[in-house]
Chains A and B, each alone.
Chain A
Amino acid sequence: MKTCLVVDDSSIVRKIARRILEEMDFQITEAEDGEQALEACKDAMPDAVLLDWNMPVMDGYEFLGNLRRLPGGDVPKVVFCTTENGMDHISRALHAGANEYIMKPFDKDIVAAKFQEVGLVALPEQSSI
């Protein structure tokens, strides 16, 4: 089973993301800020990170920079999931090593599409009509 670290300071967002990702067969761990997330990655590198931008203590952007410098930190697919919906933020995130970017609000279809995009889940056999 693939693992996904959900990083968001909102417990409601974490809960929604957990429900969506568990349905997609991911095993979930949670973190409330970048620092907690970094500790979690040092313990066990996840396959995926769903990452908020604005958080107390350490924000998502800083976390991403730190993650990519860790041994094995280039492995996890990092998908931002944030209300920072401007082109400038998206460009910065990609430059810092993010693999995909979800603009909030999000739903199950968007999460599934973005996780397919980075190869974390298989494509459905065929689409519905």
Chain B
Amino acid sequence: MNPPDYEYLRKLLKDHSGLDLSADKQYLIESRLLPLSRKCGVSGIGELVQKMRGGSSLIIAQVVEAMTTNETFFFRDRVPFEHFRDTIMPEMLKARAGRKSIRIWCAAGSTGQEPYSLAMSLKEMGAALAGWRVEIIATDLSTEVLEKSKSGIYSQFEVQRGLPIQLLVKYFKQNGELWQINPELRAMVQHRQLNLLHDFSQLGVFDILFCRNVLIYFDQDTKISIFGRLAKAMEGDGFLVLGAAETVVGLTDVFKPFPDRRGLYRPSGARAASPQAATSMPKIAAMAGR
């Protein structure tokens, strides 16, 4: 890929989705956009970019979608789901014993593996949740992946990544080479299209927020601003789960790490600083840049 095309794609993705690609992500662009080029009937990424420069909004939308869709699988990284079962839910069952309702948000729900993993975890808790109302809201930038999530249909390959065979047998129905998650579990998850760069206050307030492997794509100021708005969308005693390679440390003090639980955070009660204020503090900026 030639450097001007790469720069063009970087800027366009930044403007449209906040996706912040570093200079060494050519491989990522190629792996995502070569299949799209074929789908669009053009010879390669060069020609794809040419059409984008020509103003094809359809192709631009597809490029943004292809680049921002994450690879995902059931119970990805496992540890966050152990935290969910062993730390988050026991605390929430105590803290919400009065109202008996819990709201969960998967902020990068993608093709559904994460929200359905949570739904299966909840089902596995059985009687402990009898009489409780648990809402799972899955949001994603991409309408295409949300459609797949809604359908709950997965390939044989997808159901073999991270999903214990006992859970496959228990919660899926086979249809030839495809596997569909049970209607009861599908009904536990609501889907909404959402760009995290835009206002999401209409979603309401959540007790538990899974926001894994999505903020990595944003630049620092955007991350700080999103963390600030996420904190406002959460109950004061709620839980935030980030991806294994992500942290709030050095970026914002609106969340604080939960002791001895990697990737788990709680609102600190601090008010969100504006991005300008954060970048004017050299020490914090330097730490965050590491």
- Interface positions of A (Cβ within 8 A of B): 85-87, 90-91, 94, 100-103, 106, 109-110, 113-114, 116-117, 123, 125-127, 129
Contact of B160 with A103 in the complex, beta carbons under 8 Å: yes
Alpha-carbon distance between A123 and B164 when the two chains are bound, in angstroms: 14
Query: Which residues of B in the span 159-214 have a Cβ within 8 Å of any Cβ on A?
Result: 160-162, 164-166, 168-169, 174, 177, 213
Is there an interface contact between A94 and B161, defined as CB atoms closer than 8 Å? no
Stretch at the interface among B30-38, B45-53, B73-81, B225-233: B73-81
Q: Decide if A127 touches B160 in the complex (CB within 8 Å).
A: no
CB pair B156 A129 closer than 8 Å = no
Which residue of chain B lies nearest to A101 when distances are taken between CB atoms in the complex?
Answer: B165
Q: A103-B156, A129-B213 are in contact. List 16 more A-B contacts (CB 8 A).
A: A85-B156, A85-B177, A87-B169, A87-B174, A90-B165, A90-B169, A91-B169, A94-B169, A100-B165, A102-B160, A109-B161, A114-B160, A123-B77, A126-B77, A127-B245, A129-B243
Binding site for A on B (CB under 8 A): 73, 76-79, 156-157, 160-162, 164-166, 168-169, 174, 177, 213, 216, 243-245
Could you tell me the distance between the alpha carbons of A107 and B36 in the complex, rounded to whole angstroms?
A: 25
Whether A110 contacts B174 in the complex (CB less than 8 A), given A94-B165, A127-B244, comes out as: no
Closest to A107 in B: B157
Assess the B245–A129 pair: CB atoms within 8 A: yes
Across the A-B interface, give the 10 residue pairs with the lowest CB-CB distance, nearest first. A126-B244, A101-B165, A110-B160, A87-B174, A127-B77, A113-B161, A100-B165, A103-B156, A117-B164, A126-B245
Q: Which residues of B contact A117 (CB under 8 A)?
A: 162, 164-165
Bound complex: CA A91 to CA B79 (Å)? 27
Main secondary structure of the interface of A (DSSP, over half): mixed
**Minimum Cβ distance to chain B for residue A109 (Å):** 6
* Interfacial chain A residues near B166, Cβ < 8 Å: 94
Distance (Å) between the CB of A108 and the closest chain B CB? 12
Bound CA span A123–B216, Å:
22
30 A-B pairs in the complex with CB atoms less than 8 angstroms apart: A86-B174, A87-B169, A90-B165, A90-B168, A90-B169, A91-B169, A94-B166, A94-B169, A100-B164, A100-B165, A101-B165, A102-B160, A103-B156, A103-B160, A109-B161, A110-B161, A113-B162, A114-B160, A114-B165, A117-B162, A117-B164, A117-B165, A123-B77, A123-B79, A125-B244, A126-B77, A126-B245, A127-B213, A127-B245, A129-B243
| A85, B169: Cα distance in complex, Å | 12
The CA-CA distance from A94 to B168 in the complex, in Å, is: 12
B174 proximity list for chain A (CB < 8 A): 86-87
The reply to whether B169 and A113 form a contact with Cβ atoms under 8 Å apart is no
How far is B235's CA from A45's CA once the two chains are assembled, in angstroms? 53
Q: Considering the chains assembled together, what is the distance between the CA atoms of A126 and B73 in angstroms? A: 14
Contact of A110 among B77, B157, B177 (CB under 8 A): B157
Best-surrounded residue of B164, B165, B216 (most CB of chain A within 10 A):
B165
A93–B248 CA distance with the chains assembled, in angstroms: 45
Q: With the chains together, A39 CA to B221 CA distance in Å?
A: 64
Q: Which of A90, A91, A127 contacts B76 (CB 8 A)?
A: A127
Query: Separation in Å of the B135 CB from the closest CB of chain A?
Result: 27
Measured between beta carbons, the chain B residues less than 8 angstroms from A103 are 156, 160
Please, which residues of chain A bring their CB within 8 A of the CB of B157? 110
